Structure 1
C-alpha cells in the first residue's frame, strides 16, 4: 500500500519488521529502536500486550466522544474503549498489531496516519500514546495531520518523553540479535518541545503518572457542520474492506 506525503519508508519498515511482529505475537521483548549511532531505545512490548494499567485507564477516562488511536499497536486501549461501548478505531501499519487488536475485539485498520482515514475531521479525541508522537520524525507534520482528523475543538492526548528532549534520528527495529528493515525517521519529544511545536493548539492539561508523562492539547480549528463519526462498528481488518449489510463500517 502506498503511503502519502513521502512516508512510504517508515510505514513500510514497521509493517515489514519481523522482530516487531514476532514480539507482538509472543507478547514480550526484548525489542528496540536501534539508532544509527548504535544506541538502543527500548520498546515496552510486555506493557503494550498486557491489559491497560491504571495510568492507561486514567488517560482513557479523559477521552471525549469518538476516539482514534494512532499507532494502536496490539490494541489494549482500543479494546478497552470498545468494551466501554465507545466509538473507537485503531490504526497501525503493522499487520501483526492489527491482528492482535482484532483478537482482543477492538476495531482496527492497517493504515498509516498519513493516508486517508475514516471520519476525518470528526473524531473527538486522538491518542498518540507510547511514544507515537515520534511517528514520521516530524512533530509539526504529525500535529498538522492530527488537526485534520479532529473535529473542531477536538482533544489530542500525547504521551511525551519524561526528559526535556527534542531529538530527530533514523532508526531500525531490532531485537538485539537482528535488525530489520530500512532506516526510517523517528522523533523523541518531552513536553516542553511538544508545546513549542503546538502552535494553533490550546494546552489543556499536563500530568505525570507511573513515571510516564502526558500532554493534552485542544484543536483551535474553526467549527464546521461535519457530523461526528457514526456509532457503528468499524471493521477490524488489515486493509479497508467494502461495507456489507452484516458488518457496517464508518465512512471513508
Structure 2
C-alpha cells in the first residue's frame, strides 16, 4: 500500500534535522534527482525574492518544507501560511517564526476560496503525481482572480512516475523505502497544463538558474442563462 505521507519518511526527517543532504528523489530504474536541502533550510535567496515580491494578499505556501518562504513573508509582516505533510518541516517553519499546518493540500484548509496567492515552489507542482488535479485544487483555494506562482523543472520534461526518497543509506531490513506518485513539468508542459485547466499565464521569468510562471485563476462568472433550481437545461436536439 502506498504511504499516504511519504515525506514523513526517515531520510527527509534526517535531512531537515541536519539542514543538509544528500537527499535524492529516486525515479524509475537507477535515476536519482538531487534535492537541494541546504537551500531549502537557508534563508530565502534572490531567486526566491523574485517570487515573493510578486505575491498579493494572504499567501499559501503548498509544500512549505522547512519554511524559508513563509518565514521571509512573516518577517515583512505579510499574512502567510505553509502546509506540509511532514511534521519535521512544519516544526522547522514554526521555529523560524512562520505559521504552518501539518496537512495535505487536498485536505480541508482554512480560508478556502480566499487566499490571494499560492506558491508551488521547489518542484511542488509534482505533489500527488497529478498536476491537473493539483491545479484544480489550487483554484479552489484561491480567491477569484488569485495568483499562483509556480516553479517549473529546469529541463523541458513532462513525466509522472513512482518515486522514493533516498539519502544513500541502506533501507531498514524488511522495510523498503516507500514509493509515492510524483510529477515533473518543464516550462512548456507547465504552461500547457495550466492553460488546459483554465489558468491564464501572465508571466514567465528565470532567476538563479530556476524557472517560474505566474498563473492567474479565471474569475468564475455564473452563466446568465443558468436554469432555475430543480430544472435541467435542454440540450440541442431536444435531449436533456
User: Do they fold alike, i.e. is TM over 0.5?
Assistant: yes
The one of 186, 189, 214 aligned to 2:185: 189
Is the contact made by 1:11 and 1:112 (CA closer than 8 Å) also made in structure 2?
Answer: no
Structure 2 residue 12 is the aligned partner of structure 1 residue 14 = no
Deviation at residue 191 of structure 1 after TM alignment: 1.2
Render the CA deviation track for 1:174-213: whole Å, top value 9, x for unaligned: 1012356421110010111011111211111000111000
Q: How far, CA to CA, are the matches of 1:56 and 1:196 in structure 2? A: 24
The one of 170, 173, 195 aligned to 2:165: 173
Q: State the TM-score, normalized to the length of structure 2.
A: 0.87
Unaligned runs of 5+ in 1: 1-7, 225-252
The one of 198, 203, 210 aligned to 1:212: 210
Deviation at residue 121 of structure 1 after TM alignment: 0.4
Of structures 1 and 2, the one scoring higher in RCO (CA 8 A, sep 6+) is: 1
* Residues paired across the two proteins, number: 216
Structure with max Cα Rg: 2
Secondary structure (helix, strand or coil) at the match of 1:217 reads: strand
2:125 maps to which residue?
133
Is the contact made by 2:24 and 2:167 (CA closer than 8 Å) also made in structure 1?
Answer: yes
Unaligned runs of 5+ in 2: 223-240
The one of 38, 50, 54 aligned to 2:30: 38
Is the contact made by 2:22 and 2:167 (CA closer than 8 Å) also made in structure 1?
Answer: yes
Is the contact made by 1:121 and 1:151 (CA closer than 8 Å) also made in structure 2?
Answer: yes
RMSD of aligned alpha carbons: 1.5
1:239 maps to which residue?
none
